[in-house]
Amino acid sequence: MQNINLLEASGLTLAQLIREKKISSYEVVSTHIERAKKINPQINAIVEECYQQALNEARAADEKIAKGQVDFSKYKYFGVPHTIKELMAVKGMRCTIGSIHRKDVVSDFDSTALQRIRQEGAILIGTTNVPEAAMWFECDNVVYGPAKNPYNTKHTPGGSSGGEAAIIAAGGSPFGIGSDIGGSIRMPAAFCGIFGHKPSEKIVPLTGHFPMTLDVAESFVGSYYPFSVVGPMARKADDLLTLFNMILGPDGIDKNIDPQFKLKPLIQDWTKVKVYLMPDPSMFLTTPTQSDLSESVIQAGRYLESLGAQVQEAPRKLLFKGFDHWSTRAWTMEGRDFVSYMTNGQKLSYMKEFFDVARGTRRYTFPALLTAFFDDKFSQRHKLPKLVEKLKAFQAEVDSFLDGDSILILPPHPKKAPAIGSTIFTPFNFAYTAVFNALGYPGTIVPMGLSQDGLPLSVQVVARAGMDHLTLSTCKPLEEKFGGWVPLA
């Protein structure tokens, strides 16, 4: 035990130590809670804690182990702590989505993802910070305030799963669950240097992820079904794959989940895989890619080539209109729009609200207001039929390009973790991730160490819909070669 740092081990390793009685669940859980208590005042990642309940559950777990009452073959994470994004329902805890209109809303059930993790013996220690209404790639809201990046608190951990990424990166949680509609797992994972996986659509239930509560779940079908997805985040590659397998499959509530989907075995023979590299994407309205992020893509490609993969560069402009296609996909969704969710249906005076932000009496964050304003005033929904045809043609083009066992590796963002408050000047940079939400593609973030200025480097690996095994196959070899997540000094 002297050689194992509990705050740096994978959840699977912690579970093994507990199973082998080399350490107690109470010690593992309390160690992570103490770390969370120490670091959270600096990064504001955990917003609703359940520390005492977690410690009680850990004691109960240890008592069962001592009495020989645990069949460990039934549990992958018995006695191991974790966190979850605040948009996911947790019975008895708030689910505000960062909105003042929901600041007192308490969930009366557990989301499906949380239920499945609990069934594996894991112990929740808290929920994590999000942007207002979960629609920005910085993490700030009027209910909880801003989350910060543990590697440099002047920088953002990203959004919307920013709090989740921050607490995992800071060592306060081995793993957790986030969600992604435009990069909300991938940007935070990249900015904080951890693993994150955005699944293909309709293979992981959204039950319990706002707005899909139990009372309205059956109404989310067809064009009313969100194109957001729920997925795992972890400091170690092994946990990412384990968690993904754990949360897959129908739950009987979310009627949209594919009952036939099975995750294929990970790639062992890389000679059969085509790897396309896009170190410096040319995408409309985005800023140029920072050179060290481009270099990370090249290094990842070179290593996979050394394993036998067929590597070549992809056309820089393949994804050029990525933001436009994401917007089209967003406009195809029926039901309440972003403005309605942000205001809870109340009438909004933009002039008054922008003025209130300027004088420090805000009800809404500036990015949320700006997003609502442009969605409200500059929507192209009236052109939707023509835009949908363009999206379909784009989908066919990229599907054809990534035919067979092919992956595309590109940066997750043009910049490493941006300075807090700066993203408002580069609002379209999330197109690097958002374009793959438009396509329904899986995307995996693999950490690639730290830059010279101490910020995390990562690559984004994508494949066609349903080919999640291809992107996940890169995690372990790249982790072994480049070191994966880097614990805080």
Residues 357, 350: Cα–Cα separation, whole Å: 11
Q: How distant is the alpha carbon of residue 173 from its chain centre? A: 15
User: DSSP code of 419?
Assistant: B
Single-letter amino acid code for the residue at 87: L
| Residue with token string 């070549």 | 312
Catalytic residue among 184, 327, 406, 458: 184
Catalytic residue among 10, 160, 327, 451: 160
Q: Is 458 a catalytic residue?
A: no
Q: Is 184 a catalytic residue?
A: yes
Single-letter amino acid code for the residue at 14: L
Phi, psi (rounded to 5 degrees) for 229: -135, 155
Closest CA to 146 of 366, 327, 390: 366
Residues 198, 220: Cα–Cα separation, whole Å: 20
Give exposure, 272-294, as e/b (b: 16+ Cβ within 10 Å): ebbbbbbbbbebeebeebbebbb
Q: Is 340 a catalytic residue?
A: no
Full DSSP string of 94-127: B--TT-GGGTT-B-SS--HHHHHHHHTT-EEEEE
Closest CA to 441 of 186, 82, 79, 84: 186
Catalytic residue among 24, 25, 76, 85: 85
SS3 content of the chain, % helix, strand, coil (to 5): 40, 15, 45
Query: Is the CB of residue 143 less than 8 Å from the CB of residue 114?
Result: no
Residues 372, 327: Cα–Cα separation, whole Å: 13
Give the active site residues: 85, 160, 184
